[in-house]
Amino acid sequence: MTAREWLQDLTALRAASGLERSVHDYLRVHLEGLSDRLTTDGAGNLVAWRDGPDDSPLVLVAAHADQVAMRVRAVLPGGYLRVSAPSIDLRCLQGLTVEAEGQPGVVGMLPPHLRRGGEPDKPLEESDVYVDMGGGTPPPVGTPVYFRVAPRALGQGRLSAPALDNRASVAAACLLLEALRDREPNVRLACAFTAGEEKGRGGAAFLGLAEQADLGLAVDVTFARQPEVTRRDHLMELGGGPAIGVGPNVPMPVLSLLRRSADAAGVNWQSEPLPGDSGTDGWALQVAGLGLPTGVVSIPLRSMHSPAEVVALSDVEATTALLAQLATAGFAREDLLWD
């Protein structure tokens, strides 16, 4: 399958934090022939394994399977819902088509004709947002409410869809396993599709095999440059290749290995400054057990946590090429030690 085909399928799935089963069920079907075995754990993680030489390093690639979503916090008479929408800009919600338990609904909005003076400029609060389910049977409190927006191909090899954070990286991991189908890796590989990253990284924090790994790689998305934020010089370029994190979450030996792998794969890459918490599963992996050498590789993304996230397919493919080069070339455990 191509990057576009993986993403068309994966972004059509619904998987709020703690409810990743739909993604995992899809992956079980499509990765069965691309992996040596599939395992799950009590933290809700699915792991696809590729065996390498018995004495080779174990590389853990973590891509979180969950997505941001709203939750029903109250059911009102007439089939209306009040929702909680953490991590989502409320301004993108009004007038949007959504779904809850497969039922369509719309986020209501006050027509401009009925607004009082000053109301158009008032910042939205959660109490201003409601979902109109059309008077049908409302879903219970706690039910996830998702953007009901189909993936769309854009120009210049770009794709827009909800949940590209982080299905773009899930697709890159699937493409990695495809790339290794007819090639023998020189590492033992575990691709973990983790749970709960958007709500505290609980899946990665309790991923038991992190204590057995020699190298952890968190594959996620990061902020790409767009018109509203052109003054921020640390944003990545869409189509510029994977962003390799630089900072305390990425020890220098791991940073060097990632850069060498990208160069050997012949792909463009970008340096992303991560002066503190990377905001990815990598922050949880780094402190697993007695400490795990960890890297962060991110796919540039526009309009994060919105119904119109955008990625360049070339960045997904380049991320796969970097990971495939690292897995096939291999490395010595000593390469990860500090001098």
Residues 129 and 256 in one domain: no
Residues 184 and 294 in one domain: yes
For residues 144-173, average pLDDT: 96
User: For the domain that residue 130 is a member of, what is the CATH number?
Assistant: 2.40.30.40
Give the end of a domain, one of 147, 180, 213.
147
Interval 159-208: pLDDT, tens:
999 999 999 999 999 999 999 998 899 999 999 999 989 888 888 888 87
Could you tell me the CA-to-CA distances from 1 to 6, 172, 178, 180, 270 in Å, in that order? 6, 11, 8, 13, 26
Q: Count up the domains in the chain and report the number.
A: 2
Task: Give me 14's structure tokens.
Answer: 């619904």
pLDDT given at position 132 = 94
Residues 207 and 316 in one domain: yes
Q: Is residue 296 very low, low, confident or very high in pLDDT (cuts 50, 70, 90)?
A: very high
Q: Is residue 128 very low, low, confident or very high in pLDDT (cuts 50, 70, 90)?
A: confident
Residues 129 and 247 in one domain: no
Residues 242 and 204 in one domain: yes
Residues 167 and 286 in one domain: yes
Taken in order 203, 208, 211, 212, the sign of the CA dihedral is: negative
Find the domain containing 76 and state its range: 70-147
Give the end of a domain, one of 114, 147, 180.
147
Residues 209 and 114 in one domain: no
Check whether 113 has a pLDDT greater than 70. Answer: no
Could you tell me the CA-to-CA distances from 288 to 7, 118, 139, 207, 293 in Å, in that order? 30, 51, 38, 8, 10
Residues 181 and 263 in one domain: yes
Residue 152 lies in a domain: no
Q: Among the residues of the chain, which ranges form H helices?
A: 3-10, 21-31, 164-179, 202-205, 252-265, 281-285, 313-329
User: For the domain that residue 18 is a member of, what is the CATH number?
Assistant: 3.40.630.10
Beta strand pairing status for 158-161 and 188-194? unpaired
Tell me which amino acid residue 73 is: R
Residues 214 and 296 in one domain: yes
For residues 207-218, average pLDDT: 87
3-state secondary structure of 21: helix
Residue 235 lies in a domain: yes
Residue 279 lies in a domain: yes
Residue 191 lies in a domain: yes
pLDDT given at position 121 = 62
CB under 8 Å to 249, separation ≥6 — which residues?
Answer: 274, 277, 278, 280, 282, 283, 286, 294, 296
The side-by-side arrangement of strands in the sheet containing 58-64 is 37-40, 46-50, 188-194, 58-64, 215-223, 294-301, 243-246, 270-273
